[in-house]
Chain A
Amino acid sequence: KAGVTQTPRYLIKTRGQQVTLSCSPISGHRSVSWYQQTPGQGLQFLFEYFSETQRNKGNFPGRFSGRQFSNSRSEMNVSTLELGDSALYLCASSWGGEETQYFGPGTRLLVL
């Protein structure tokens, strides 16, 4: 069974631009969660989607948004990028959200 895949793996953007990251969950999993990982703040929860609906949300500004498609694939969008948005963005999938989450390898975003 293929694991969680994230694209792209690496991305360089400049301040003010916007970016879209993609996550394909394990087949059959309906819950996708997104996290931001930085050396200073560690791993922080962004949001969780289940059956195309946002079910949980972390404490991030409205510039961070996401969506989930009918095939459970999810995208995360960050608008008006700031230097502080440089981070490893991880997504994790699970069948319903309460079970074991399986993480993807992440997308490393660098904002210049």
Chain B
Amino acid sequence: TQLLEQSPQFLSIQEGENLTVYCNSSSVFSSLQWYRQEPGEGPVLLVTVVTGGEVKKLKRLTFQFGDARKDSSLHITAAQPGDTGLYLCAGKYNQGGKLIFGQGTELSVKP
């Protein structure tokens, strides 16, 4: 079974703090995606990374793909209450394969 481990599962922080969410696997990804899901809605894609070592920035969010393409991280700088939600990483182990999701990180940012 191909597993995608995400940590931490829950994170409660104050507005203005920084945080990092991790996504790890023992297998190599062909591509990896990060999603954000709010209550009552489906996940919304934030970013896709495909190259080992790749770093992408989306405003205060920084996404990094590991050199070996087995892990990824999402770093949020100066978190705001609007960042609250469920963050999911999802990877494909081969093109045309199914998307495997991590368990998710439930983030709560308190004002």
Contact = CB atoms under 8 A, between A and B. Distances in A.
Interface of A: 4, 33, 35, 42-45, 48, 56, 58, 90, 92, 97-98, 100-106
Most buried by B among A42, A98, A100: A42
Interface of B: 40-45, 48, 88, 90, 95-104
B51 to A, nearest CB: 16
B42 A104 contact: yes
Given A97-B96, A98-B95, A98-B96, A43 B101 contact: yes
Nearest to B1: A59
Contacts of A45: 98-101
Given A43-B88, A98-B95, A100-B48, A105 B42 contact: yes
Contacts of B98: 33, 45, 48, 56, 58
Q: Which 8 A-B pairs have the closest CB atoms?
A: A103-B42, A43-B101, A42-B103, A45-B98, A56-B98, A103-B43, A90-B42, A104-B42
Contacts of A100: 45, 48
Nearest to B4: A42
B42 A106 contact: yes
Given A98-B96, A100-B48, A42 B102 contact: yes
A71 B99 CA distance: 24
A106 B37 CA distance: 11
A103 B95 CA distance: 20
B67 to A, nearest CB: 24
Nearest to B90: A43
A54 B40 CA distance: 28
A79 to B, nearest CB: 22
Contacts of A103: 42-44
Given A35-B101, A42-B88, A103-B43, 19 more contacts: A33-B99, A42-B104, A43-B43, A43-B88, A43-B104, A48-B98, A56-B96, A56-B98, A58-B98, A90-B43, A92-B42, A97-B96, A98-B95, A98-B96, A101-B45, A103-B44, A105-B40, A105-B42, A106-B41
